Structure 1
Amino acid sequence: MCTDDIHEDAGQDGEHGIGRRALLVTGAAGALTLTTMSFASAADGSRSTKTLKGTLPPGAPDYVYLPVDVPSGVREIKVSYTYEKATGLPAGTQNNALDIGVFDERGTALGGEGFRGWSGGARTEFFVRADDATPGYIPGPVRPGRWNIALGPYTVAPEGLPYEVTVTLTHGKADPTPRPTYPPQRARGRGRAWYRGDCHLHSWYSDGRRTPAEIGALARAAGLDFINTSDHNTHSAHAHWSDVAGDDLLVMIGEEITTRNGHVVALGTEPGTFVDWRYRARDNRWAKYAQQIRRAGGLVVPAHPHATCIGCGWKFGFGEADAVEVWNGPYTPDDEVSLADWDNTLVAYARSRGRTGWIPAMGNSDAHRDPDRVGGPQTVVLADDLSREAIQAGIKAGHSYVAESSSVELTFTATGGKGGSAGIGERLTVSPDAPVTITLKAKASPDCTLHIVTDQGTLFTSAPGVASATWRTTASYAAYARAEIRHTPTTQGLPGPLAAFTNPIFLGAA
C-alpha cells in the first residue's frame, strides 16, 4: 500500500510535525486523493510551509489530488515539486514523468469550475495570487477552503514514482485582480480573399518558450494574416494577446485540450473559455466537451491524429470534428499516414452520396520554441473578411489549402457542364459522363511535382518544375479531385514530402 508523509515548517517558529496515512481512492473515475495539508491562520506577512513526500505505484490513476485546507487571510499560494527518474530501466521502458496544476476551493469536478492553472511538466513551481500568477495559471483571490494540487503521473516506471510537493502560503491583504482584455475579433483584411494562418501555437503560458509578442513577430514575418492560440489545458494566455493583434494580424483564442487519448485544438472560442481534458475515450465524455467548444463559438479540430508520442494518437473518432489537422509541423511519416486516413474519409463521404458530412483538412506548425517555424505549415483560407467568424466559416467549409510557407501559392478549379465551375471545397454538379476539366496552377520550389488525387488514388503526376497542369475526367470516373504539390522523394519507394495540398472538389450530383 502506498503511503505519504507530510512535513510542516511553520515559518518563523520552525516547528515540525509528521502525519501519515494511506492514499484514498476518490469517487471520481481515474483519480486518487492524498493526505490533506491543513494550514492555520497566521499574522500578515508571515509564511507557512508544508511538504508532502510519497511514491506513486505503476498503474497509478491519471490524476492524483493533494487537498490543501487554506485559511482566510492568505495573499499567495506557492507550490513547488520534484520527482525522481528511475535508473537502470530496461530498453523500451518509459521513465517517470509527472505533471502539475491546481484547483481552488470550488473543487475538482469535471468541467473545471475550480480550475486555476496547469503547467503540465513545463515548470517545477508556480504561484497564484489576486494580482498575478505564473504563466499557465489564473490570477484571482486565494479564497479560504479546500484547494487541490493536481498531479498527473503521465508515465510511471516499474519501481514507482517518488515525488515531493511543497506548499507555501503567504498571509496578508490581497491586491486587486486586473480586469482582462482580449484581442479584437476582426482585423482590417482585404474583403473576400485568401488569408494565411497558423492555428496551433504554444507560448510560455504552457510548454512553449516564446512570449506572445515573439510569436506575433514571427507570424508577421511568415506572412500570416491570422493565428489561433492553443496552449495546453489552460486559458491563462487569453488575456495576454491584445498587444499582439493589429490591423494586419487577427489573433483568435483557443486551447489545445490534451487528453490521455489524443489532443484537439479548440479553434476560435470566446476569450476566457476553459475546456476540461481529464477523461479518456472509454469515459464517453468527449461529445459533451466538443459541444462546449461549439457553444463557445469555436471549431473542434483533432490535432496530429497519428502522432507517435504517448497519449497523442487520436482515439475519440471524428464524429464531432469540424476539421482535422492532417499536417503538423515538419512533414513526417505520421503526417503521411494522417493524409491517407483523411483521404479515406473522403471516399466514405463519396460512397454515402452526401448523406453524411465530410471533414475538411488543415495544417499547422504546433510551434513551441526555436527552431520550430511559425507558419510551417499554414492553412490558406478563402474568407469573406479577416474576422474570426469568416475565417472559421472558410475552414469549416473546406475552402482552404495547406502550404509549407507563404512562398507556395496555388489555384485549383474544376469546370464542366454548361459553363459550371467549382473551387476548393465546392461541388461541381454535372451529369456522370459529362467532361470535367481539372486545372492546377502552382508557385513552388523547382524540385516540386504536381499531383491530382481522386478516390482511386493519384491519377496525374507532372514532371518536376512544372507550373501548371490540366487533367480531364468525368464524375463517374472520379468522385472528387484534390491537388498535392510534393518535393523530390527523400526515401526510395515513398512519396516526396508535401509542399502543399488542397481540400477536394467533389464531382457530380450529391
Structure 2
Amino acid sequence: MCDDAQDTPEDPARGIGRRALFVTGAAAALTAGSVTFAAAAGGDRQTRTIRGTLPAGAPDFVYVPVEVPTGVREFRVSYRYDRPAVPAGTAGNALDIGLFDERGTALGGRGFRGWSGGARTEFLVRADDATPGYLPGPVRAGTWHIALGPYTVAPQGLAYELTVTLEHGEPGTTPSPRYPPERAGGRGRAWYRGDCHLHSWYSDGRRTPAEIAALARAAGLDFINSSDHNTHAAHPHWADAAGEDLLILLGEEITTRNGHVVALGTDPGTFVDWRYRARDHRFGAFARQIRRAGGLVVPAHPHATCVGCGWKFGFGEADAVEVWNGPFTADDEVTLAAWDNLLVAAARGGRREWLPAMGGSDAHRDPDVVGLPQTVVLADDLTRRAIQDGIRAGRSYVAESKDVSLSFTATGGRGLRAGIGERLPVAPDAPVTVRLDVRGAPGCVPRLVTDEGVLLTGDPLPADGAGTLEWRTTAAYAAYVRAEVRHPQAVPQLPGAPAAFTNPIFLGEG
C-alpha cells in the first residue's frame, strides 16, 4: 500500500477484503496499510509517497496511518487524485482530506488536527504554525492518520497519491489562543442585524477574517458567526476583527453526508465531529454537545440539491432552521413552504414549542455577498447570549439587505399586543388587528400568510419603498400570521423572491 517514492508500492486495487474494514460507531471507515518513518537527526527531512485506489462505493472515510518517530518538528502532506471523464449525470471523483494525531481517530475528535476538505492540495502542522484549517501544536511520536473523505467516486474508481514529509528539529512554541469578546457596544433592547453563516479561508472560503469583517460592517451588520466547514481552526483568528461595532460569534458548519448544520455561537475552541450519517443515530449526541458548549443547533439549507446537502436528521434537535440561504433560489422556496408546514403542525397540536426561521449568506468568496440575507433579531443587548435568546425565541425576521426593515404586530382588546415570535393571548372569537409596516422595498408586494395560506396581498409599494398593510381577523380563523414582502413575479405560477419575511405571531391562548 505504501512505501517511499523510490520503491514500487503495493497495489491497493487488489481488493478491500484483505484490509481491515471497521465501523467507528458512525459511518463505515477503511484503514489502509501504515507508513513508517525512521528516527533521524535534527534538520533532516524524510519523504514517503503512498498510492492507492478507492472503488466506487468506498467507505465515507479512509484512514492512512503514519508512524511518526520522536524529534519531528513539522508534518507536511500533499496529495492529488485522478479525475477521469464520466458519463453525463454520473458523479466524478472528489476527495477530501484532513489529519488526526497520535490521540486517534475515534468519533468525537480528540485527535483532530485539521480538515481542509477539497479546498487545498497540501497542508502542514507544527507547534508554532499550521495551514489554515489545521491546528498548530506539537508533532508527538505515535501513529498519526491522514483522513481521506471520498466525497464522490467515479465508476472507474479514484486513484490517489499522498506525499508525506517529516522535518526533524526543535519544535517551536504553540501560541496561546485569543478569542473575540462576547459583548459589543449595543443599543440596549433593539433590533440587531447579523449573518450567521460565513466561510473564511480556514475552510473553503477565500476571504480572511479581516476581509469578512469589513464586508459585514459595509453591509450594516451588528454581528456575524464564524462557521467554517468541519474545523474550529479559525476561532483564535477573529479577535482582531471584532470591535465595539461588531460582535463575532464562533461556530462551525458540521458537514455530514446527510446534511449540514450550523453550530451558532459555541464556546471558543469547540470542535464538533461530522463523521456520521442519519442511520448511525449519532446526531442527537452531537446536537447536545453544541448546546452544552453554549451554541444553537441550526440545520442549514435543508433542501439544497448538492450531494450530501439535503437534511436527513429531522428537526427534533434543532433550535432554529436556515430557511433562506444566500441569493433566494427554488430550494429556498421549498424550504420556506416546508417550514410553514411545521408551523401548521405546531399550531394544530396546540404546542408552545415551534421552530423559528432564520437566514444566512453562506458567503465563501467574491462575488458572494456578505449579509444577503441577514437575520434581524430583537435582543436585549449586543451580546452572544442576548442574540442567541432572540433567535431561539423567534424574535426575528430575514431581510435581503440593511435597506429593508419591517415592523409587524398584532393587537387585541384590553391593550394586548404581540410582536414577531410572540403569542397574542386572545379568545377564539376576539377581534385581532394585524399591522405590517415596511421600509426600503420599492415595487415589492407585502402579504400576510396564515395556517390557511396567503390571505391578504397588498398593492406594490411606491418608489420610496414604504407602506402599511392592515388586516382584521380572529384566533379562530388564523392560528398564526406571518408577513412576507416579495419582489414582482419573475416566473409564471411562482411568487417573486422575498425582500423579507418574518417569523409568525401566534394567536390564541395556546
AA paired with 1:502? Answer: T
Is structure 2 residue 60 aligned with structure 1 residue 71?
A: no
Is structure 2 residue 397 aligned with structure 1 residue 401?
A: yes
Secondary structure, counterpart of 2:241 in structure 1 = coil
Give me the whole-angstrom Cα distance separating, in 2, the residues matched to 1:85 and 1:92.
15
Q: Of residues 158, 176, 182 in structure 2, which corresponds to 1:185?
A: 182
Structure 1, residues 369-406: CA drift from partner, whole Å, max 9, x if none?
00000000000000000000000000000000000000
Give me the whole-angstrom Cα distance separating, in 1, the residues matched to 2:61 and 2:4.
24
* Aligned twin of 1:173: 170
AA paired with 2:419? Answer: G
Secondary structure, counterpart of 2:274 in structure 1 = coil
Is structure 2 residue 103 aligned with structure 1 residue 106?
A: yes
Secondary structure, counterpart of 2:181 in structure 1 = coil
**Matched residues, number:** 499
Structure 1 residues 116-155: aligned runs within 5 Å:
116-155=113-152
Contact map agreement 2:3 2:35 (CA 8 A) in 1: no
Q: After alignment, is 384-393 or 410-419 more displaced? A: 410-419
| Deviation for aligned residue 1:24 | 2.5
Secondary structure, counterpart of 1:61 in structure 2 = coil
Q: State the TM-score, normalizing by the size of structure 2.
A: 0.97
Give me the whole-angstrom Cα distance separating, in 2, the residues matched to 1:26 and 1:8.
27
Contact map agreement 2:252 2:263 (CA 8 A) in 1: yes
* Aligned twin of 1:12: none
Q: Of residues 338, 344, 348 in structure 1, which corresponds to 2:335?
A: 338
Show structure 1 runs of 5+ residues with no match: 10-14
AA paired with 1:128? Answer: V
AA paired with 2:471? Answer: W
AA paired with 2:431? Answer: P
Give me the whole-angstrom Cα distance separating, in 2, the residues matched to 1:173 and 1:95.
43
* Aligned twin of 2:43: 45
AA paired with 1:62? Answer: D
AA paired with 1:232? Answer: H
| Deviation for aligned residue 1:17 | 6.8
Give me the whole-angstrom Cα distance separating, in 1, the residues matched to 2:7 and 2:357.
58
Percent pairwise identity: 70
What is the Cα-based RMSD across aligned positions, in Å?
1.0
Give me the whole-angstrom Cα distance separating, in 2, the residues matched to 1:123 and 1:285.
29
AA paired with 1:33? Answer: T
Q: Of residues 443, 446, 459 in structure 2, which corresponds to 1:447?
A: 443
Secondary structure, counterpart of 1:26 in structure 2 = strand
* Aligned twin of 1:483: 483
* Aligned twin of 1:31: 29
* Aligned twin of 1:499: 499
Contact map agreement 1:444 1:499 (CA 8 A) in 2: no
Q: Of residues 386, 392, 406 in structure 1, which corresponds to 2:388?
A: 392
Contact map agreement 1:417 1:431 (CA 8 A) in 2: no
Give me the whole-angstrom Cα distance separating, in 2, the residues matched to 1:420 and 1:357.
21
Give me the whole-angstrom Cα distance separating, in 2, the residues matched to 1:60 and 1:20.
16
Give me the whole-angstrom Cα distance separating, in 1, the residues matched to 2:23 and 2:332.
39
Is structure 2 residue 361 aligned with structure 1 residue 362?
A: no
Q: State the TM-score, normalizing by the size of structure 1.
A: 0.97
| Deviation for aligned residue 1:27 | 4.3
Q: Of residues 78, 81, 84 in structure 2, which corresponds to 1:80?
A: 78
* Aligned twin of 2:15: none
Secondary structure, counterpart of 1:430 in structure 2 = coil
Q: Of residues 212, 224, 229 in structure 2, which corresponds to 1:227?
A: 224
Give me the whole-angstrom Cα distance separating, in 2, the residues matched to 1:226 and 1:427.
27
Give me the whole-angstrom Cα distance separating, in 1, the residues matched to 2:144 and 2:371.
40
Structure 1 residues 89-488: aligned runs within 5 Å:
89-354=86-351, 357-465=353-461, 467-488=467-488
